[in-house]
């Protein structure tokens, strides 16, 4: 596991965006680029907003094209139609897809209104497999260390499925529903921890003091189902990009190690 520490959220975002842009461009310039698209996993939340802004800028500047990119989003609330203010479908279109040259057919987001949500999740996993797997999964983490909507104690081998959201997550996300806890959907469709772990590379964004405990559990503590993001310790190519505030709970030795070895 690599940990990249930058001073601020903006610097972290720029680093992560440039890393992914390099990956997309290298893929497109290679023989593989002619026969298959670059498959990119994407999260929602405030963590990736800086990266998405950098993608839009780089796309406008002609430094990257998303024409040969296929995306799979991590999760979606159950029961919210696409055009709901808080659907992840809307979030992704408002903050990224409507501003870049991606083919709308290449955008994949779990359907929160599916009649049979478990079947929808199986279809999603199958589609990822048809594309030959995810090349790079960009992710974030909840304050409680969940990845996608894989709350504490979700199997670290889990595949896409319906997840019940914890009280912690409902409280954290109430801010997007006018602070009204009762309006936050209680379940979501989500890729599994195993789905993320199958990606060739995983790049996780952690910023701010409120993510410091999750970063400590991810980097320094044993792999645990209580902090599902800690499964990334077992991933062969995981990178954590963080800012200084997120490092508040790391030991000085750990912090220095990653600063010195970068
Ligand atoms: C939600 C999403 C996660 C995301 C998390 C953190 O729970 N399902 O994928 O990582 O929020 O959000 P934020 O980046 O806003 O802290």
Q: List, for residues 25-56, the tens digit of each pLDDT value.
A: 999 999 999 999 999 999 999 999 999 999 99
Give, for ligand 1, the residue of 16, 43, 89, 208 to mutate: max count of ligand atoms closer than 8 Å to Cβ. 43
Q: From the candidates 27, 120, 125, 146, give the one annotated as an active-site residue.
A: 146
Burial (CB < 10 A; 0-12, 13-18, 19+), residue 77, is buried
Residue 151: partners with Cβ closer than 8 Å, 6 or more residues away: 142, 144, 163, 164, 165, 166, 169, 228
Tokens representing 135? 């090349």
pLDDT for 236:
98
146 belongs to the catalytic site: yes
Whole-number Å distance, alpha carbon 117 to ligand 1 midpoint, is 21
In tens, the pLDDT along 206-252 reads 999 999 999 999 999 999 999 999 999 999 999 999 999 999 999 99
pLDDT for 228:
98
Distance CA 210, CA 255 (A): 17
pLDDT for 8:
98
75 belongs to the catalytic site: yes
Distance CA 10, CA 51 (A): 9
In tens, the pLDDT along 146-156 reads 999 999 999 99
Whole-number Å distance, alpha carbon 155 to ligand 1 midpoint, is 19
**pTM (predicted TM-score):** 0.97
Is the beta carbon of 51 within 6 A of some atom in ligand 1? no
151 belongs to the catalytic site: yes
- pLDDT class of 79 with cuts at 50, 70, 90: very high
| Residue 146: Cβ within 10 Å count | 25
Place of tokens 């959220």: 9
Distance CA 13, CA 246 (A): 14
Ligand 1 atom nearest residue 141's Cα:
10
pLDDT for 30:
97
- Percent of the chain at pLDDT exceeding 90: 98
Distances from the Cα of 33 to the Cα of 39, 42, 102, angstroms: 11, 20, 15
- pLDDT class of 134 with cuts at 50, 70, 90: very high
């Amino acid at each position: 596991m690599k940990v990249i520490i930058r001073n601020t959220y903006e610097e972290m975002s720029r680093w992560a965006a440039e890393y992914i842009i390099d990956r997309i461009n290298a893929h497109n310039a290679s023989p593989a680029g002619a026969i298959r698209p670059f498959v990119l996993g994407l999260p929602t939340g405030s963590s990736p907003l800086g990266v998405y802004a950098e993608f839009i800028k780089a796309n406008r500047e002609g430094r990257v094209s998303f024409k040969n990119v296929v995306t799979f989003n991590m999760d979606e609330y159950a029961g919210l139609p696409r055009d709901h203010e808080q659907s992840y479908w809307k979030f992704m279109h408002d903050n990224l897809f409507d501003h870049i040259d991606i083919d709308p057919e290449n955008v994949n987001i779990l359907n929160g209104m599916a009649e049979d949500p478990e079947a929808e999740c199986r279809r999603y996993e199958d589609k990822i497999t048809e594309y030959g797997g995810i090349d790079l999964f960009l992710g974030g983490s909840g304050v409680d260390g969940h990845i996608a909507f894989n709350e504490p104690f979700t199997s670290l081998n889990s595949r896409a499925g319906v997840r019940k959201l914890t009280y912690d997550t409902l409280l954290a996300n109430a801010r997007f529903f006018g602070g009204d806890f009762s309006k936050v959907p209680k379940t979501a469709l989500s890729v599994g921890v195993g789905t993320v772990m199958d990606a060739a590379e995983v790049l996780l964004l952690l910023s701010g003091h409120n993510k410091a405990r999750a970063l400590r559990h991810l980097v320094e503590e044993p792999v645990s189902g209580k902090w599902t993001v800690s499964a990334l310790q077992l991933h062969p190519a995981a990178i954590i990009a963080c800012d200084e505030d997120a490092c508040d709970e790391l030991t000085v030795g750990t912090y220095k190690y990653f600063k010195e070895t970068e």
